[in-house]
Chains A and B, each alone.
Chain A
């Protein structure tokens, strides 16, 4: 559905996007995960044909995409990070306006507006000026405008920024439903849990470059694929550590006072044997904690900094 090849975009001396390549298949949700300033918005601005690439190319449904390409833009729906709605207009008028610009007219447009108003639960407030809406309502309308013409590729740029938890969950559920319906989705976020929940494949982007790309489990293997189990309690000794090291699942044991941190493979399976061995070797456990690697760990592993930096 979308193919980006070696995209480069510079602003003066700053290279905002530096050789980014990725593709999205029909029905797939693809995530661009990275901190603020990583180059996510610039990348999707080129993908949506808002700005030209200094070099590289984007094709959508096999057609080249760029600022002057009119026809190919019918395939995409853009949900910008900003609330791209007109405050003086009602929700229905906003939808009517953008629907007409997408080429929809008459009864089909009215029907479609009724449908999306129903989906975003704004039917009752459809005739109110959007300047009177809450932040969450505006966010929902912002997404609805992108969906109105039923695009084959929906591009969402951090759609949950500044949204309350309830609205955020509603937005995430809507996006999950879209991929079920066969729509390709390009989703940018700096929230690891959103990318993990929504995306079939994820590209980790930082400093304008894609650092790694793959499914969640593929990315996690980049960290070595190991889990950590922390055992806290009294009575740990050199004998306890030796007994634990002897277990096949355990790769490493580190002691820190009354706490032992074990590096293991497949912690959920190994934890029972570890607990039995530790108590059998004289340790009285007060706490057991399993830590599995996530995208945050992957980002830290790849870039040496936290995702929220």
Chain B
């Protein structure tokens, strides 16, 4: 046991001293998180600017106020409605003093009640943006509801409803609250925010590189001759491999923990229960380390190992959604779900949504199964370096 700790401690000291692990496991992923956050994070945290709408509406129209009121009731958009003449509404949109110019025609309300065709003219200014698109969508929705009143009136007339009742029927259909509603919610509490997915994905990707500093060190030791010397020492050969695995484990756990913590602080992400997150990290590190044992046996040289590691890390990271979310169905979805990076991210989504130890069983099982299968596979891969 003393020999195990001696080798582990010495290896960790060297990795810290040559700084490569600090740069590759912490500095680079943190820098990438900042870059990606600048690129993608803006979309998530975009704020909407105030909007001015120049509206021309007939003074005595009973339905026009409903359309105008709908503009000022949009959540998240600060809308100022200036009531002006029809020409001025168009001019202000064209001149840029209003983002939208809306002209509600004479007889708008009566046309709706009678089920007759009527046109609301909208002029979009040059400076209009996302806010104007939102208001247009809202107006289209309101107009659709009002047109429902027109359809109702037409249907009533065809069915022999008395003419004096058609107006009331149309207004009721146009103004009544919808019976069908859309409710927004989170899908099974497993979805991370954009920033959260970014941090988790990068932590998962670089974990696959960080663990290489331990196990793949066997190949470097083989090349520099120290492995031969270690194998001449009075200890079991398996102890050398165990020490390298332990170094991978410690480096992977610490680096991933630091990345998630830094991500939480810098990008305002909460990953939830620290205990559950720690369990997820342990499982992810185990899965990643098992992969390194396969590479260590398959590669003859450090260059081969590095190339294999990069290929596997990128394939697993991309298919695990480390850079952008992937959607698949059927068998492909099942295969993608077995990816340890995907399981790690999914687990963090669960903890982020308030889940605890009892809720992360599936991702934990996926990662541990991957680790066991990886370790078993590493014993089956021909040992091309003839040392492990």
Interface, chain A (partner B; CB < 8 A): 45, 48-51, 67-68, 70-74, 76, 78, 80-89, 93, 97-98, 100-103, 145
B228 adjacent to A73 (CB under 8 Å):
no
Report how far A88 CA is from B225 CA in the complex, Å.
Answer: 15
| In the complex, residue of chain B having the shortest beta-carbon distance to the beta carbon of A146 | B229
| In the complex, residue of chain B having the shortest beta-carbon distance to the beta carbon of A78 | B232
B228 adjacent to A100 (CB under 8 Å):
no
Instruction: List residues 195-228 of chain B with CB under 8 A from any CB of chain A.
Output: 224-226, 228
| In the complex, residue of chain A having the shortest beta-carbon distance to the beta carbon of B224 | A82
Distance in angstroms from A64 CB to nearest chain B CB is 14
Distance in angstroms from A128 CB to nearest chain B CB is 13
- Given contacts A49-B231, A89-B10, A101-B7, whether A81 and B225 have CB atoms under 8 Å apart is yes
B residues less than 8 Å from A50 (CB atoms): 228, 231-232
Distance in angstroms from A19 CB to nearest chain B CB is 22
Report how far A51 CA is from B227 CA in the complex, Å.
Answer: 12
A78 adjacent to B229 (CB under 8 Å):
yes
Report how far A45 CA is from B222 CA in the complex, Å.
Answer: 14
B234 adjacent to A84 (CB under 8 Å):
no
- Given contacts A100-B2, A101-B6, whether A68 and B237 have CB atoms under 8 Å apart is yes
A-B contact sample (13 more), CB < 8 A, given A83-B225, A88-B17: A45-B228, A48-B232, A50-B231, A50-B232, A67-B231, A73-B232, A73-B233, A78-B232, A98-B229, A101-B230, A101-B234, A102-B233, A103-B234
Report how far A72 CA is from B234 CA in the complex, Å.
Answer: 7
| In the complex, residue of chain A having the shortest beta-carbon distance to the beta carbon of B6 | A100
B236 adjacent to A145 (CB under 8 Å):
no
- Given contacts A68-B237, A97-B10, A100-B6, whether A82 and B225 have CB atoms under 8 Å apart is yes
Which of B3, B7, B226: most chain A CB closer than 10 A?
B226
Distance in angstroms from A30 CB to nearest chain B CB is 18
Proximity string of chain B (220-256) to chain A, C-beta cutoff 8 Å, 1 when within and 0 when not: 0000111011111111110000000000000000000
Distance in angstroms from A145 CB to nearest chain B CB is 7
A residues less than 8 Å from B3 (CB atoms): 100-101
Query: 22 A-B residue contacts at CB 8 Å?
Result: A45-B228, A48-B232, A50-B232, A67-B231, A71-B234, A73-B234, A78-B228, A78-B229, A80-B229, A81-B225, A82-B225, A84-B224, A84-B225, A84-B226, A84-B228, A86-B10, A86-B226, A89-B14, A93-B10, A98-B229, A101-B234, A102-B233
Whether a CB of chain A sits under 8 angstroms from the CB of B18 is yes
B residues less than 8 Å from A68 (CB atoms): 236-237
A70 adjacent to B6 (CB under 8 Å):
no
Report how far A38 CA is from B170 CA in the complex, Å.
Answer: 103
